[in-house]
A and B are shown apart, each in its own frame.
Chain A
Amino acid sequence: AAGVIQSPRHLIKEKRETATLKCYPIPRHDTVYWYQQGPGQDPQFLISFYEKMQSDKGSIPDRFSAQQFSDYHSELNMSSLELGDSALYFCASSLVGDIGRYNEQFFGPGTRLTVL
């Protein structure tokens, strides 16, 4: 079965640079979520999109922005990168319209961002 695809898998940036992470949800899924996970921590919710509209916002810094495109893929844009932004970034998708399984979020393999 098709899974969530994320690219790139690894990214190394310098401080104050920008980065763009991409996510391709499972086909037919209508909701995309972005998470940040630091070492030894649980995933921290950043932002979500339902049917290409922002649906919820978590602890996303103002330096970050995201959008979902007409083909349902999503991009997380990160500017003025700081050392503390080094983390694993996960995208997850779900089919909120599925009454019986709407909360089942399926995660991608993640992008490991290292800021030097």
Chain B
Amino acid sequence: GQQLNQSPQSMFIQEGEDVSMNCTSSSIFNTWLWYKQDPGEGPVLLIALYKAGELTSNGRLTAQFGITRKDSFLNISASIPSDVGIYFCAGQSWDSNYQLIWGAGTKLIIKP
């Protein structure tokens, strides 16, 4: 079925570095959501985006809804150890009846 292209698949970074990840779709979405999931836990909603061009921050996290409505990015500034986990993007299009289409996830690993 329809899927989002999320990249990178994994990232190895130093503590304090900035992180950037993105998702792209071949079709137009009207909602983008970014989630973080720790091992064995449920995904936690970080940021929700509803308007093309919208730029939203949540602490050190910033996400944008692309102008074309086909992409979104998530930035994390000054990473800290608790940022480790898997980040998922999820989108919803007009014809998906509130179903979320998920990216494959970006695994963030912080080098000691």
Question: Are the CB atoms of A110 and B42 closer together than 8 Å?
Answer: yes
C-alpha spacing A45/B90, complex, angstroms: 12
Determine the interface band of chain B, counting residues with CB < 8 A from chain A: 20 to 34
Question: Are the CB atoms of B99 and A56 closer together than 8 Å?
Answer: yes
* Chain A residues near B33 (CB-CB < 8 A): 103-105
Question: Are the CB atoms of A107 and B98 closer together than 8 Å?
Answer: no
Return B72 CB to nearest CB of chain A, in Å. 13
Looking across the interface, which residue of chain B has its beta carbon closest to that of A88?
A: B40
B66 CB-CB contact with A under 8 Å:
no
Chain A interface residue count, Cβ-Cβ cutoff 8 angstroms? 27
A27 CB-CB contact with B under 8 Å:
no
18 A-B interface contacts by CB (under 8 A): A31-B98, A41-B104, A42-B102, A43-B88, A43-B102, A45-B99, A55-B97, A58-B99, A92-B42, A100-B50, A102-B98, A103-B33, A105-B33, A105-B45, A105-B100, A107-B43, A108-B42, A110-B41
**Which residues of B line the A interface, CB within 8 A?**
31, 33, 35, 40-45, 48, 50, 88, 92, 97-100, 102-105
The 4 closest A-B pairs by CB, nearest first: A107-B42, A42-B102, A103-B31, A107-B43
